[in-house]
Amino acid sequence: MKLAIDRKMIIENLKKQKFVPFNVIGIMENMESNVYYDEATISVWCEHEYFNYISGSTEVIASHVESLEDGFYGFAAVEDHLAKSVYTKHLLHWYEPTDRFVHVTDKILDSDWRLGAPYEIVPVPLTEAKGINDRYEYKDEGSFERICDAISHRPSSAIYIEGELASYVLVHEDNSIGFMYTLEKYRHMGLGYWVTLDLLDQMRKRAAVSFVEINQANFKSQGLARKSGFEKDVFTPWFGIIKGVPSFFETWEPLEGRSYIFTTTAHLREVDRLTTDIEVPKVNKTGDDFKIVIDEKGRKAQINLTLDETKEAYITEIHSKENMDYLEVVKAIAIHFPEKSASVVLPYDEKLAKQIGCIAILKQ
């Protein structure tokens, strides 16, 4: 893949593909990110901060991954087969199963829908950015800036009740609809539906495709999407990988100088496909820490998972293990640990390191 210059040409080619990567096109339209392109296969790789937006040939994308330095890389809403071709060859750091919904009907918008709207709908003012960021589920160091960018440069819709911002929706930098939120006291009033219709109307006037990425467990948002005229299109998971052994592990000492195994519950489930016949362990949570107690079918174990000081991973301590080998304990963690994309540190074991996907750090 070569660093691209003519984005317009690439976008036009992407729009002709059987699977149109709307999010890749959005990033190319809205962000000054590095874009790599392979003309022969119409393969694209867009870098945007931690996340990468990719589409095209599995072979070409795999080759580009191999050219990267060892490190942590995120991938946004990737077509399933392409996603698997990436994360199955590396340590899967985290995984979020999402479906892409695309707006397919304008029947609602073709009517004079505003006459039925019980509220005035207005754009979101920039002064609301801080509050939106504070309520944002995925708040991080850069989210406030992204929210300001969304309000300033792309459509938005809001409903105020008695001077208070009650419900709103914005458009992400990849042109997907998001940041949707309704204050608790104003829920079950249909506000989300009305701000969504207003935003769809604005997107239609821009001749833009309206789409949204929704977690498969978020049934409420799926219902609102269907009510607003969206249909589920394709499975497009978000995920992160750890390529090689990043320099972070050179100085990180989670077990105070002892050798360890670093793995993730996402990799153990989605790549290693671990399963267990242990059905109902007892799981207790105290603060950020967990205790899993197994006493079933003649097998016993107490597994303590303590969040590391850096909050990068859970440190595992295994006590009172009876009639269970190390792999069986790890299977129980993979399936029953409530944090589904947790990083886990285990005391080093040579046999286990060969049985699971992991990074093994040996100390002298």
Helix (H) or strand (E) holding 10: helix 7-15
Euclidean distance between CA atoms 162 and 186, whole angstroms: 12
pLDDT at 340: 86
pLDDT band at 319 (very low <50, low <70, confident <90, very high): confident
Dump pLDDT digits (tens) for 126-144. Answer: 999 999 999 999 999 999 9
pLDDT at 281: 87
The full length of the chain comes to: 364
Query: Closest by alpha carbon to 317, among 356, 354, 290?
Result: 290
What dihedral angle (degrees, nearest 10) is formed by the CA atoms of 199, 205, 209, 210?
10
Do 174 and 30 form a contact (C-beta atoms < 8 A)?
yes
Query: Closest by alpha carbon to 133, among 143, 142, 124?
Result: 143
How confident is the prediction for the chain on average, in pLDDT?
94
Euclidean distance between CA atoms 127 and 288, whole angstroms: 34
β-strand 35-38 against 2-3: which pairing, if any?
Answer: antiparallel
pLDDT band at 260 (very low <50, low <70, confident <90, very high): very high
Q: What is the mean predicted confidence (pLDDT) over 13-42? A: 96
Q: What is the mean predicted confidence (pLDDT) over 293-297? A: 90
More confident: 257 or 151: 151
Query: Closest by alpha carbon to 300, among 275, 268, 255, 332?
Result: 332
Lookup: tokens for 355: 């049985």
| CATH code linked to domain 105-228 | 3.40.630.30
β-strand 2-3 against 98-103: which pairing, if any?
Answer: unpaired
Dump pLDDT digits (tens) for 74-88. Answer: 999 999 999 999 999
Phi/psi at 353 (nearest 5 deg)? -60, -25
Q: pTM for this structure? A: 0.92
Q: What is the mean predicted confidence (pLDDT) over 310-337? A: 91
66 - beta bridge partners?
Answer: none
Q: What is the mean predicted confidence (pLDDT) over 102-111? A: 77
pLDDT at 117: 83
359 - beta bridge partners?
Answer: 262
Give one DSSP letter per residue of 194-261, joined into a string: HHHHHHHHHHHHTTPPPEEEEETT-HHHHHHHHHTTEEEEEE--EEEEEES--THHHH--TTTTS-EE
Task: Assign 181 to helix, strand or coil.
Answer: strand
pLDDT at 107: 67
Lookup: tokens for 231: 């249909």
- Give the rounded percent of residues in the chain with a pLDDT score beyond 70: 99
- Give the rounded percent of residues in the chain with a pLDDT score beyond 90: 85
